[in-house]
Structure 1
């Protein structure tokens, strides 16, 4: 094995930086505008504006050879870095306390969603990658789950853009309808927090729905939502194994090979979550890491938007949107059903 001398590392980094910085700068600039939109309209967040700005600019002028390396770098490596930093939102204490209460509802809704994505998506003729993205986005945590899974399954930019847009649409509907549903069922704030945390996707939408229902529901809803984010880990590992098995055409999987399929950024996500649980991340730095992860996701999604094949999205038609609607209904119905069966809701 031949190793590159460490002494050449600074030069290689400078050369790499010179290649990627124009595209990274463009993607980051779009993310800044998206962040401003998300700040002005918290219910929208920064993920959807970022990808919309990227798509619009890409339609006006596709990134040329000077910008494309940095756009690709942003859509892949920066996206993976964002997933690592997502671990700063989780702590072991909250996972243990909230996990015990919410696990039956969370697992049931996730299983139903993933099975539904596979089966109903096949019936509708939705491509495997796109139905996987919509499934994990609906079942786990919206754009964050899509960001974690897309590099594992090799999703195309258009598929990521479509999936994020579908998830956003039903997040908006959830913010409008869930508080009405909660009041119609006479749910107390704690119970509504569980429903919102398990059946609404992105954190911003969970915050909005819980706030509209009752300020007392907000804290528990957000913690449930963050614990739900942990489902990224087993789902990502499982998808890594499936993709590797597909690419190696049935070659036997040993424990060592399975371990090698675990993406580096997923290991980083777990490491950061453990550091946060141990209190090793100072309070001031904690908030910086969380905001950095949100901004990196916006930067990566802007880059994905710039690379999106809009023609391919049009070709996908309405079927993925129908899939998203059915999965959203299934997750909500399953969450309510399990809550009724376990005594959270009394009729």
Structure 2
């Protein structure tokens, strides 16, 4: 089953079957995603991954600060709740649900604020996973361009990896590396969040799974035995990713989507449209 098919199957299940453990769903998807991403490291070379990540550093920094600034302005204009607005902006700027999960305890967000933010991010992720690969082919993007675009314009790591894996192996390597480099920005943004909302900085969480992913890439580059078993682990990791996308889909029922509210949803759409369009223009322009 492909990544889009897994997500669509989950979405269909959500419309007809009530999820028995909705709160557990997010924790399960979090662990599955981290495990699958670490597993993908067994198919990557540290030197080529470093070169891929290096190309996206400037675009990453500019996009993160631009989205956070635009999100602040849109939240003010639309009069959205301050914490919801910030979580949507941070989720769009950094790494979707992972950023929201990391920042929520730092800013002492309530369950409803977290649910609304996650609902918007995951819904837009679902759309991105379905439309980005066909758009990439229609625009004749190279593997490198598409991988970079995915990493910048799609919120959540699961959908980034899902879309890039459908486009090609080179796109997958670039997208995964650049996206995880973006995820490291959770740490400085968490400290900024603690200052902004005047809360305890001790609640800042380190994304340790990224360090494990880098370690796996290093070992895969220099240990011949791991290179032999790497393809099997990568194949298993892709299946885990599809399972992750299925579970994400099961959490997106019409009831959840209706509960979001039009103004926060509109903010999420505008931010996503802005970063998607601007990053695509920048990537194509740099290639020219």
Structure 2 CA distance for partners of 1:261 and 1:156, relative to 1, 3 Å: closer
Greater Rg, structure 1 or structure 2?
1
Gaps of 5+ in 1: 1-38, 211-217
Is 2:267 the partner of 1:323? yes
Structure 2 CA distance for partners of 1:104 and 1:158, relative to 1, 3 Å: closer
Is 2:186 the partner of 1:236? yes
Say if 2:146 and 2:164, in contact at 8 Å, map to a contact too: no
Moved over 6 A (4+): none
> Hey, what does 1:267 align to over in structure 2?
208
Counterpart mapping for 1:249-288 below 5 A: 249-250=198-199, 257=202, 261-263=204-206, 266-279=207-220, 282-283=229-230, 284-288=232-236
Say if 2:116 and 2:260, in contact at 8 Å, map to a contact too: no
> Scaled by the length of structure 1, what TM-score is found?
0.60
> Hey, what does 1:299 align to over in structure 2?
247
> Scaled by the length of structure 2, what TM-score is found?
0.70
Superposed CA offset, 1:15-42 (max 9, x none): xxxxxxxxxxxxxxxxxxxxxxxx2xx4
Is 2:118 the partner of 1:160? yes
Counterpart mapping for 1:1-347 below 5 A: 39=1, 42=2, 44-47=4-7, 49-50=9-10, 53-54=13-14, 56-58=16-18, 63=20, 68=21, 71-76=22-27, 78-85=28-35, 86-90=37-41, 91=44, 92-128=46-82, 130-132=84-86, 134-135=88-89, 138-140=92-94, 145-152=95-102, 153=104, 156-180=114-138, 182-183=139-140, 190-191=144-145, 194-195=148-149, 198-200=152-154, 202=159, 203-208=161-166, 210=167, 218-242=168-192, 244=194, 249-250=198-199, 257=202, 261-263=204-206, 266-279=207-220, 282-283=229-230, 284-296=232-244, 298-299=246-247, 302=250, 304-305=251-252, 310=255, 313-339=257-283, 343-345=286-288
Distance 1:45 1:117 in 2: 31
Distance 2:212 2:125 in 1: 28
Report the aligned-residue RMSD: 3.8
Gaps of 5+ in 2: none
Distance 2:5 2:92 in 1: 17
Task: Kindly tell me the number of residue pairs found equivalent between the two proteins.
Answer: 265
Question: Which structure has the higher relative contact order (CA within 8 Å, separation 6+)?
Answer: 2
Say if 1:166 and 1:321, in contact at 8 Å, map to a contact too: no
Say if 2:152 and 2:179, in contact at 8 Å, map to a contact too: no
